[in-house]
A = this chain, B = another copy of it.
Amino acid sequence: MTREQLPGRRSARSHRAVLESALALVREQGYAAVTIDGIASRAGVSKATIYRWWNHKSAILVEAFLTSVHPQIMFPDSGSAREDLVAQATSLARVLSDPVLGSLFVSLLGEARYDPDLATALRDGWQTPRRAAGVEVIERAMARNELPADTDPELVLDGVYGPLYLRLLFGHAPLDEPSLRQIVAQVFDGTGVGRG
């Protein structure tokens, strides 16, 4: 998705200006108000130049999102799966709680339902690396018997990330560290009693 230095010469500055302008417009006016004309005029770039490098508005925004988000994510290895998952979830929650980036992300998810390219970009640039890091944490935990050998890592990850995204979508509960710790705890320990 990054282009940086392709054959066409003068990109670089324009490329950066487009991504920044797009994000700024999302921030100031919201997703729906972002237009190619608006990005072009704000970035001091011609529309033709934009269409040379991106097919759709969402292609610009997904790149802007991923670029802006990329440095903020952490994949620790503390020796405790609980701690690692809390740390990952916290770092994720920091991004998604940002009013601009969080809303942008949900909008992109919505569009991705009808735009396979966008879906691919989001999967490759966002979901896959995070799931992989999560699976690794859990497999390490299984290896050291912190978790049973028959644990389904995907199910555990859904148990941790599911509530997180749910709260992003509906905003009915906080996404601070204690809450995330509670969520992780419930996944590991269950609600207690139960039928067995």
Q: Is the beta-carbon distance between B195 and A82 smaller than 8 angstroms?
A: yes
Whether A12 sits at the interface, judged by CB under 8 Å, is: no
Q: Is the beta-carbon distance between A189 and B182 smaller than 8 angstroms?
A: no
Q: Can you name the residue of chain B whose Cβ is closest to the Cβ of A185?
A: B196
User: CB-CB < 8 A to A165: which residues of B?
Assistant: 162, 165-166, 169
Q: Can you name the residue of chain B whose Cβ is closest to the Cβ of A150?
A: B192
Range class of the A interface residue count: 35 or more
Beta-carbon contacts under 8 Å, A56-110 to B: 80, 82, 102-103, 106-110
User: CB-CB < 8 A to A146: which residues of B?
Assistant: 193-195
Chain A 174-196 near chain B by CB (<8 Å), digits 1 or 0: 00000000110111111111111
Q: Is the beta-carbon distance between B191 and A186 smaller than 8 angstroms?
A: no
Q: Can you name the residue of chain B whose Cβ is closest to the Cβ of A114?
A: B30
Q: Can you name the residue of chain B whose Cβ is closest to the Cβ of A82?
A: B195
Whether A156 sits at the interface, judged by CB under 8 Å, is: yes
Q: Is the beta-carbon distance between B162 and A186 smaller than 8 angstroms?
A: no
Q: Is the beta-carbon distance between A183 and B159 smaller than 8 angstroms?
A: yes
Contact of A173 among B80, B151, B158, B195 (CB under 8 A): B158
A–B complex contacts, Cβ < 8 Å, 8 sampled: A82-B195, A103-B113, A155-B182, A158-B162, A161-B162, A161-B166, A187-B191, A188-B191
